[in-house]
Amino acid sequence: MSRSKTLTIEVAPRVQLGTSASRRQRRAGSVPAVLYGHGAAVQTLALAEATAQEVLHHPGLMNLNIAGAEPTTAILKSSQRHPVSGIILCLDFLAVRADELIRSVVGVDFHGVPVGAARGGQLEQVLHQVEIECLPGDLPESIDVDVSGMDLDTTMHVRDIPMPEGIRAVSDPGVAVFQVRLPKVEDVKEDAPVEAAVAATGEAAAEGAAAGGDKAEKKTEKKAEKK
């Protein structure tokens, strides 16, 4: 685990509010945002599109330089994107203090080769992010997990992940994060008896039809001889 670096970004107060004003800002390359926390009034802000993209890829602390105000330490609490175009609609920042616990979602990485791989097992990562609680200064970029001890048909849950000092996982402890299993292979042998039965049925029907035809032909020949 490595602690996340603090990202410094420039934001500006947003005066014009409302849906129409937000649309105009987005067309002009600016993303609406809000900052709240510590019981203070919500601040409406705006930041450049490129800065917003940078924020979305930063998991840790940020210093918000707000024009005409003191810099504020915050984390990204949530974001909204357009369901079709994917453009950033709004960002929500939460102001934090160095001495208060915060909750944040961070990625889960792994290293090592499971012992179960020697028996044909494959590592599957089921959960890629976990919610944690820690002080702002201890917020990591990601949680790194050693999977080398995992044998075939074993599962590592959230409760099994060793957390660094000062960090506590708050995600559901029973959720699976990693598992080692044999790769799924499509079983064609089970379909073979069915296909064979269908083929046999078809052959039997064909033979029956042929036998019926022979009988009919013989009856016709006998009638002709009598005449």
* CATH code of the domain in which 171 resides: 2.170.120.20
> Do 124 and 78 sit in the same domain of this protein?
no
DSSP state of 5: P
Q: Quick: pLDDT tens for 83-114.
A: 888 888 899 999 998 889 999 889 999 999 99
Domain assignment of residue 28, yes or no: yes
Residue range of the domain that includes 68: 7-96
3-class state of residue 106 by DSSP: strand
Q: Is the pLDDT of residue 19 over 60?
A: yes
Residue the block writes with tokens 């790769």: 183
User: pTM of the predicted model, to two decimals?
Assistant: 0.66
> Do 16 and 88 sit in the same domain of this protein?
yes
Contact of 12 with 46, CB cutoff 8 Å: yes
Lowest-pLDDT range, 12-16, 44-48, 103-107, 178-182? 12-16
DSSP E strands in 49-184: the ranges are: 62-66, 72-81, 88-95, 102-111, 122-125, 129-134, 142-146, 154-157, 168-169, 176-181
Among 96, 119, 146, which residue terminates a domain? 96
CATH number at residue 66: 2.40.240.10
Closest CA to 169 of 201, 134, 145: 134
> Do 137 and 83 sit in the same domain of this protein?
no
3-class state of residue 11 by DSSP: strand
> Do 92 and 115 sit in the same domain of this protein?
no
Domain assignment of residue 118, yes or no: yes
